[in-house]
């Protein structure tokens, strides 16, 4: 098998034995849990579109290891065309789900780990890359969803990992054995962890010699003994427990985050890709962050397309579509959205080959892309809320709309133009609410700010990559200044 069907993917999750806590209770069946299920549907779409001949070019690729057709989420980028197709694929999936489809982080992780382990082996004589390729071969053959795990809780930001009051606030090795290592700690904000088959752990920051126990990368089954999860709370998430679909906004799809806890997790050496090589921790963080910042030029744009469409529908249903200021706001939303896309395509087109043979994006442009993502989606969301109107957040519930007595009142007073059913207007307003304020806002609005690093992280990288000295030299030459 190299391409799972959507049904095979869902069935594979049913066979797993996750330990998940959600709202104080242990979840027995995460696949069918009404709060978790929509996020699984989003990942399922990555499998469904790969089976669709219309989208085969974007959703699949040829493995450089086996020569077989594989899901692009399991692929190592072999040229700039692969990097560009990645962004286009992510936009497509954002358009189809209106939510976070979660497999990007694993794809970005394998591409970062590939080149860094190759360089480690070449210089240090280690066998990390060989181990990684063995795992990647399995990942491609079985079409696995892998969760890339980088972000540690971090505790007191003013202290290094080893000086924390609690050493487990950063993921670290607590014991090295002949057969493997024992790991303790946690990874926070883990997107799609409960819909993944395996996890790929990476260090959260550049480590020093004193903190070499925290320079750690490995893979483990997502349901391994020694791993448990605490599901992250999202705005309006309990609406999914009500049984309706209008108030949810996005009736089928969603995303999720979780705290991933390592409680003396045993990892065999064959699954370890870094253990103490602190000199390479910075490169792994930098490359993963670069790939993931590129990703936001695709996925956030696809969700933005849905939000722009919803705002335009709201204007239609409100009878305001012909107003010049509404037209201008929609144009501005499209302009901002395409600006994000342009950055994602640009950093891909300017990519270059690494020593291992895979392709890395232009890191400067990838960070510019993500810096824009920390700002422009907020303006797109603001304009959507402006166009939608106040009813978006004061509307009566679906139960009221369906009520045998007051439903007629809701139907009457919440109607916009006469030719459009009130329910249609309610649905599109709830969709806008979902993307800008509800559960989807985690994967669009807030994740745009903090996902793949907060704004300052990109500004630091822009400062490093911007080559200010070269720009000064150009100015001196033009001005005739000689040193």
Catalytic center residues: 100, 104, 191, 257, 292, 296, 299, 447
Q: Which residues pair with 21 in a beta bridge?
A: 26, 230
Rounded to whole angstroms, how far apart are CA atoms 373 and 340? 7
E strand residue ranges, 27-179: 60-62, 69-71, 146-149, 172-176
DSSP 448: H
Q: How many CB atoms lie within 10 A of CB 79?
A: 12
How buried is 309 (Cβ within 10 angstroms: 0-12 exposed, 13-18 middle, 19+ buried)?
middle
Rounded to whole angstroms, how far apart are CA atoms 409 and 134? 63
Contact 152, 171 (CB under 8 A): yes
**Cα three-residue angle 370-291-456, rounded to 5 degrees:** 35
Q: Which residues pair with 219 in a beta bridge?
A: 200
Rounded to whole angstroms, how far apart are CA atoms 12 and 159? 41
Rounded to whole angstroms, how far apart are CA atoms 210 and 278? 9
Spell out the residues 6+ positions from residue 244 whose beta carbon is closer than 8 angstroms to its own: 398, 399, 402
- Full DSSP string of 269-338: GGGEEEES-GGGHHHHHHHHHHHHHHHHHHHHHHHHHHHHHHHHHHHHHHT-TT-HHHHHHHHHHHHHHH
Rounded to whole angstroms, how far apart are CA atoms 339 and 473? 30
């Amino acid at each position: 098998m190299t391409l799972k069907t959507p049904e095979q993917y869902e069935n594979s999750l049913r066979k797993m034995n996750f330990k998940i806590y959600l709202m104080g209770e242990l979840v027995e069946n995460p696949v069918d849990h009404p709060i978790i299920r929509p996020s699984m549907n989003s990942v399922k779409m990555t499998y469904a579109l790969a089976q669709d001949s219309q989208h085969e070019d974007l959703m699949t690729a040829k493995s450089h290891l086996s020569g077989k057709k594989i899901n692009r989420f399991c692929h190592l980028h072999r040229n700039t065309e692969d990097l560009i197709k990645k962004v286009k694929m992510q936009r497509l999936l954002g358009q189809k789900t209106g939510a976070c489809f979660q497999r990007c982080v694993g794809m970005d992780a394998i591409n970062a780990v590939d080149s860094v382990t190759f360089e480690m082996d070449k210089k240090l004589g280690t066998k990390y890359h060989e181990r990684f390729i063995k795992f990647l071969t399995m990942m491609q053959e079985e079409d696995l969803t892998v969760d890339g795990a980088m972000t540690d809780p971090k505790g007191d930001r003013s202290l290094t990992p080893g000086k924390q009051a609690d050493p487990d606030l950063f993921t670290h090795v607590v014991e090295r054995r002949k057969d493997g290592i024992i790991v303790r700690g946690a990874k926070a904000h883990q997107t799609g962890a409960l819909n993944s088959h395996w996890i790929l752990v990476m260090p959260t920051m550049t480590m020093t010699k004193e903190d070499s126990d925290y320079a750690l990368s490995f893979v483990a089954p997502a349901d391994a003994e020694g791993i448990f999860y605490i599901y992250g709370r999202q705005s309006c998430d309990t609406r999914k427990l009500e049984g309706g679909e209008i108030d949810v906004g996005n009736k089928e799809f969603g995303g999720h985050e979780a705290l991933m806890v390592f409680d003396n997790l045993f990892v065999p050496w064959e699954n370890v890709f870094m253990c103490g090589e602190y000199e390479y921790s910075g490169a792994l963080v930098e490359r993963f962050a670069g790939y993931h910042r590129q990703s936001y030029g695709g996925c956030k744009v696809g969700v933005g397309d849905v939000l722009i469409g919803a705002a335009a529908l709201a204007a239609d249903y409100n009878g305001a579509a012909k107003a010049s200021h509404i037209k201008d706001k929609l144009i501005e939303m499209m302009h901002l959205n395409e600006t994000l896309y342009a950055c994602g395509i640009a950093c891909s087109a300017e990519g270059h080959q690494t020593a291992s043979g895979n392709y890395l994006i232009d890191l400067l442009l990838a960070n510019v892309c993500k810096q824009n993502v920390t700002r422009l989606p907020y303006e797109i969301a603001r304009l959507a809320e402006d166009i939608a109107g106040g009813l978006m957040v004061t509307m009566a519930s679906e139960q009221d709309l369906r009520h045998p007595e007051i439903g007629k009142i809701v139907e009457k007073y919440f109607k916009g133009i006469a030719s459009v059913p009130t329910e249609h207007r309610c649905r599109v307003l709830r969709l806008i609410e979902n993307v800008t304020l509800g559960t989807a806002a985690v994967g669009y609005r807030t994740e745009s700010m903090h996902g793949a690093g907060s704004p300052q992280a990109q500004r630091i990288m822009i400062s490093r990559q911007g080559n200010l000295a070269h720009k000064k030299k150009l100015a001196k030459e033009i001005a005739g200044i000689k040193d």
